[in-house]
Structure 1
């Protein structure tokens, strides 16, 4: 694997610190602190989290581009977005009706209990 490089930055104080470009961890100037950081569990966890953030960022960017393409199509008039939304709402309402029909309500359960005792 590629070993991350130290990046010199000025952070909130007058002291210059090195920042790990892979995980964003801040390390003081000494080289032994840098090597300790690269071997640390914290660095490995942050590298894994950063990779997940990059992956999520690319997915969100792709979704944003897809939504922009859809909005451009609706402005051209070639696709009517409102009809698609209404169809999706109808499907959701039909699913809700089906789900409520599958499960008995409290009234029907109470009615069944009273029928059993009479």
Structure 2
């Protein structure tokens, strides 16, 4: 049985993905447009599928349903999304720095998800 601290950690980690996925749907046109500008093929399809994965797997992680599988799904999603959308090496200046920071932060998120998958 998870301790109170572990439960809170799972809720917070899963909740970030639920929030992000929901926010993508709320701002679907603008986010889809940004992904199209980055040159991603079928940006709307990728955004919709990714957002569904974020919401469903995030909820599963937060409430403890199939937690290892949810964490693995989110690991794969985070790596794929990071490589596709946070390609800082193609930019310069402040934009490069912002994308690079988000890229690095996602490494920590993957680390947390690895812990969640093995808990």
User: What is the TM-score of this pair, normalised by structure 2?
Assistant: 0.23
Give the number of the structure whose alpha-carbon radius of gyration is greater.
1
Greater RCO, CA 8 A, separation 6+: 2
Per residue, is there more strand in 1 or in 2?
1
Per residue, is there more helix in 1 or in 2?
2
